[in-house]
Amino acid sequence: MNNFTEENFSSDGVSLKKKLRRSLFKSKMRAFFLVLPLLAFLAIFFVIPIINLLSQSFLDFRYATLMPGSTQALKDWDGKSFPTEEIAKAMVIDLIQAKKNKTIGKVATRVNRELSGTRSLFTKTARAANKMEAPYMEALIKKDKKWENLKTWQAIKISSMAVTPSYLLAAVDRKYTAEGEIIQQDENRRIHVTLFLRTIEISVIVTLATLLLGYPVAFLMASLPLRTSNLLLILVLLPFWTSLLVRTTAWIAMLQSSGVVNDLLVFLGVTADDARFSLIYNKTGTLIAMTHILLPFMILPIYSVMKTISPSFVMAAKSMGATNWTAFWRVYFPMTIPGVGAGAILVFILAIGYYITPALVGGQDGQMISNIIDFHMRSSLNWNLAAALGLVLLIFILFFFWLYDRFVGIDNMKLG
């Protein structure tokens, strides 16, 4: 028998593989057209804006476009020697132009981010720039002593770089010097690392708390008869029927110093009337409220996994001589790990980006990284730094996802 045909051919001579590909292509195209509207929506309103915003964390063309002359002149400056007259001249010309175009405010803001106190220097100098004459360096220094300072020029050089590591470094409390070194931010401006650490700490505590509180509830729901467990399920889902804002505000009423919880503790004699606990507007408040709000996200995946575990596993374990605890710990619990993992990663990722609850009940030490991102988006209008903080947060999340995949496995995850 000859055995040299590698592919199988159908009666019309077209190879079966090709036919299969053709028919698969058709069904794939149909599926693609069905999801096309959603894909377009996601691309336009989700993916593109995110990429655009995140790119601002390392791209800043503002100084380079508004002050082209000095940008060019500073490019060749080594950052250590005193700037030349040429640089000063380009600077004065740029300042005159910026003043005329009414863009000097933007330029001043940009440089001020690198070295505080330079905003007024720029606006003041620009007002007098069109009357300046050569030698320009002397004219600048005459206007303000700060032009004599090497740090000012270094800050300008850094501002003029379009691709800048400044924001990403600022997001982790570092800064970039004109000499190309990376150094720690000044002591009093180091806030982001603390905030990131606190965000992770709060997220971890909330994840553990929801796990400890949610696991027994899920277990109860999975072991009760269907009617009762459905009732419990409705109770678990009940919070979703009210807005997040309402639930958070309700916690304010509960936890404030004249609130229900403190009243009860005083009534029970746990604390004196004049030494009520401060349970809100601090980290405690954030932890309590977030644990409550994120609890369903822990319960549901665990419940959905437990529901599928036949009671015969535990029975088998017991019939072989395992005590209740051994049967639970060695047999039942390992089988619920996919649900625990899914719940934990869900709660953790939701928690790490949580915003409204810490904003409302967090006070000073209950703020999380999203709150500072919000501050830069809406108050300080430093979108570049906001984007950089967001990017760092995203990297954190991806890192934890990777960790999860290493130790539990993504394909082990069951969400329902």
Partner 1 sequence: MKEKREGFVVFENVQKTYDGNELVVKNLNLEIFKGEFLTMLGPSGSGKTTCLMMLAGFESSTHGEIRLGSKPIGNIPPHKRGIGMVFQNYALFPHMSVGENLAFPLEVRKIGKSFREEKIKRVLEIVKMTDFINRRPAQLSGGQQQRIALARSLVFEPELVLMDEPLGALDKQLREHMQYEIKHIHEQLGVTVVYVTHDQSEALTMSDRVAVFNEGVVQQLDTPVNIYEKPLNSFVAQFIGENNKLVGTIIKESKGVVQAKLRNSKQIKGIRVNSGKEGTDALFSIRPERVFLDKKNSESIEAQVLELIYLGDHVRCRMKVADNEDFILKIPNSSQTTSLRVGQKTQVSWRVEDCRALDLAN
| Residues found near partner 1 in the complex (CB under 8 A) | 310, 312-313, 315-324, 326-327, 330-331, 334-335, 337
Rounded distance, CA 159 to CA 295, Å?
46
The least distance separating partner 1 from the CB of residue 338, rounded to whole angstroms, comes to 10
Residue 250 CB, nearest approach to partner 1 (Å): 41
Question: Measured from the CB of residue 345, what is the shortest distance to partner 1 in angstroms?
Answer: 19
CA atoms within 13 A on the CB side of 383: 10
Closer to partner 1 by CB, 342 or 393: give it.
Answer: 342
Note whether 119 and 112 are within 8 A (CB). Answer: yes
In the complex, the smallest distance separating the C-beta of residue 230 from partner 1, rounded to whole angstroms, is: 20
Beta partners for residue 15, in sequence order: 9
Phi, psi of 276 (to 5 degrees): -65, 150
Peptide bond into 135 cis (omega under 30): yes
Nearer of residues 331 and 377 to partner 1, judged by Cβ: 331
- Contact present, 259 and 253 (Cβ < 8 Å): yes
Q: Which of 297, 292, 376, 387 is nearest to 55 (CA)?
A: 387
How many angstroms separate the CA atoms of 25 and 413, rounded? 30
Cβ atoms 342, 415 nearer than 8 A:
yes
Kindly state the smallest distance separating residue 409's Cβ from partner 1, in Å: 12
- Is 129 in contact with 96 (CB distance < 8 Å)? yes
- For residues 215 and 300, is the Cβ–Cβ distance under 8 A? no
CB of 128 or CB of 309, closer to partner 1: 309
**Phi, psi (rounded to 5 degrees) for 136:** -70, -35
Q: Is 182 helix (H, G, I), strand (E, B) or coil?
A: strand
Smallest gap from residue 312 Cβ to partner 1 (A): 4
Which is closer to partner 1, CB of 334 or CB of 416?
334
Q: Which is nearer to partner 1, 188 or 310 (CB)?
A: 310
Q: What's the first-to-final CA gap in the chain, in angstroms?
A: 54
Nearer to partner 1, 216 or 311 (CB): 311
Cβ closest to partner 1, residue 130 vs residue 319: 319
- Shortest distance (Å) from residue 215 CB to partner 1: 18
- Closest separation between CB of residue 408 and partner 1, Å? 12
> Element (H or E) spanning 273, and its range?
none
Number of neighbouring beta carbons within 10 Å of residue 58 = 17
Q: Which CB atom, from 183 or from 316, has the smaller least distance to partner 1?
A: 316
